Amino acid sequence: MKFKRLVASAVMGTLFSGAAFAQVKVGVISSSTGPIAMVGIPQKNSVPLMPTKVGNLTVQYIPLDDGSDPTASVVAIKKLISEENVDAIIGPSGSPNAMGVIQFAAEAGVPLLAPVGTAAVVLPMDDKKKWVFKTTQNDQLIADALVGHMAKHGIKTVGFIGSSDPYGENWAKVFTESAGRKGIKVVASERFQRSDSSVTAQGLKLLMAKPDAVLIAAPGTPAVLPQITLYDQGYKGKFYQTHGAALPEFLKLGGKKVEGTVLAASLMLVLDQVTDAHPSRKIAIDYVNAYEKLHGVKPATFGGNVFDAGLLLKAAIPVAAAKGKPGTPAFRSALRDALEQTKDMPATQGVYNMSPADHSGFDERGRELITVSGGKWTLIP
């Protein structure tokens, strides 16, 4: 069996060594079903929009669904590596899923471009995580922006409520540190479940602490429930949300009750309001239009994270192709090095500047301060 596979790969190797057949294989793992499908569906839908030809190389994408299950992500990544011999992998969608597959990507020496929220996939940097690149803003970047806005508006105390998952936990940690540096106190820290039918109790606890503002950290539409509950309980302070709430559905579900909310997210929410000078504007508009043409709806930001991974690969593949043939360890290693060298590359989420220490690579051009005004996302100048 082993021998057969060896022969087969040797034959394939000879076949594919011709320039006409030169092909880069990229595996895409997304959670297009299961609890985090709202993240995975726009990601899967972005695959057909990604570049299929880079120089004289064709890029083949192999999309797989992990059903939001971390075990299935591991199976998918093993399949991509051993059966498809991929040169790079984009995905998976969820933070726990990504944490689970890092060691397999590192062992096989395949660059992993993870469109996940948690910074834990690239920080602290080590021998395994050097194979991972993250195409989302680090929580730290967003937290600093929010804390900056709070400090500017004289907010001294903040109540925190986050989802009880890695996203909420990491936010609790990052935000508390960031706020502490500016002298802002976190006076209450609560958790809730995505599936909770009521957060009345947590809301009461927050109300009792009488904070100047409340920060809600939850991925996707569950972020609406605590805000509506607090609004109904008569909380009059300012509401802050994270980039997890940056969805059109947030406005639809929240209605009048989320008016005035402040959040920091990528420019994709306020494309029509950012200036032409922003390097990401045109790329993001082209992406949104192409997506809308193909699928009939506007993409959520999560789709842009995967699309950016495609753009990063597009820039890195020609550099790596000079050092090895696609499908070989030399190519994959060169691809990793090339990704790490990415400098000033604009994409839909902002501008990437990778370095050996920073595999997320965003600066303040990767986030905008946004508020809800008149039921629409509005840029805070």
Partner 1 sequence: MEFQIALMLVQDGITNGAIYALLALALVLVFAVTRVIFIPQGEFVAYGALTLAMLQAGVVPTTVWLLVGLGVAVTVVDGVPALRSGRPGRLLGVAGWNLVYPLGVAALVSVLPLQSLPQLAQVALALAVVVPMGPQMYRLVYQPIASAPILILLIVSVAAHLTMVGLGLLFFGAEGQRTPAFSDASLALGPLTVPGQTLFIVAVSVTLIVALFQFFERTLYGKALRATAMNRVGARLMGISPALAGKLTFFLAAFIGALSGVLIAPITTVYYDTGFLIALKGFVAAIIGGLASYPLAAVGALLVGQLESFSSFWASAYKEVIVFTLIIPVLLWRSLTSRHVEEEE
Four-CA torsion 141, 143, 149, 152, nearest 10 degrees: -100
> What are residue 160's DSSP bridge partners?
189, 215
**With respect to partner 1, which residue has the nearer C-beta, 65 or 87?**
65
328 binds partner 1 (CB under 8 A): no
201 binds partner 1 (CB under 8 A): yes
**With respect to partner 1, which residue has the nearer C-beta, 249 or 286?**
249
Specify the stretch interacting with partner 1 by CB under 8 A; choose among 217-225, 268-276, 338-346, 360-368: 217-225
Per rule CB under 8 A, count of chain residues that contact partner 1 = 33
212 binds partner 1 (CB under 8 A): no
159 binds partner 1 (CB under 8 A): no
Task: Let me know: does 175 contact 217? Beta carbons within 8 Å.
Answer: yes
Q: Which residue has the tokens 């502490």?
A: 180
Q: What is the nearest approach in angstroms of partner 1 to the Cβ of residue 234?
A: 9
Question: Which positions from 12 through 71 interact with partner 1, judged by CB under 8 A?
Answer: 33-35, 37-38, 40-41
The C-alpha R_g of the chain, in whole angstroms, comes to 21
Per-residue x/- mask for partner 1, residues 342 to 381, rule CB under 8 A?
----------------------------------------
**With respect to partner 1, which residue has the nearer C-beta, 7 or 208?**
208
Counting Cβ atoms within 10 Å, is residue 130 exposed (0-12), middle (13-18) or buried (19+)? middle
Q: What is the nearest approach in angstroms of partner 1 to the Cβ of residue 231?
A: 13
User: Where are any strands of DSSP class E within the chain?
Assistant: 23-30, 53-54, 57-65, 88-90, 112-114, 132-134, 157-163, 185-192, 213-217, 238-241, 262-265, 345-347, 350-352, 368-373, 376-379
**With respect to partner 1, which residue has the nearer C-beta, 47 or 247?**
247
DSSP 17-84: HSGGG-EEEEEEEE--SSTTHHHHHHHHHHGGGS-SEETTEEEEEEEEE-TT-HHHHHHHHHHHHHTS
Query: What is the Cα–Cα distance from 316 to 336, expressed in whole angstroms?
Result: 8
Identify the residue among 103, 221, 273, 378 touching partner 1 (CB under 8 A).
Answer: 221
Q: What is the nearest approach in angstroms of partner 1 to the Cβ of residue 200?
A: 4
Query: What is the Cα–Cα distance from 83 to 96, expressed in whole angstroms?
Result: 24
Question: Which positions from 171 through 190 interact with partner 1, judged by CB under 8 A?
Answer: 190
Question: Which positions from 243 through 282 interact with partner 1, judged by CB under 8 A?
Answer: 247, 249, 253
Chain contacts with partner 1 (rule: CB under 8 A): 33-35, 37-38, 40-41, 164, 190-202, 204-205, 208, 220-222, 224-225, 232, 247, 249, 253
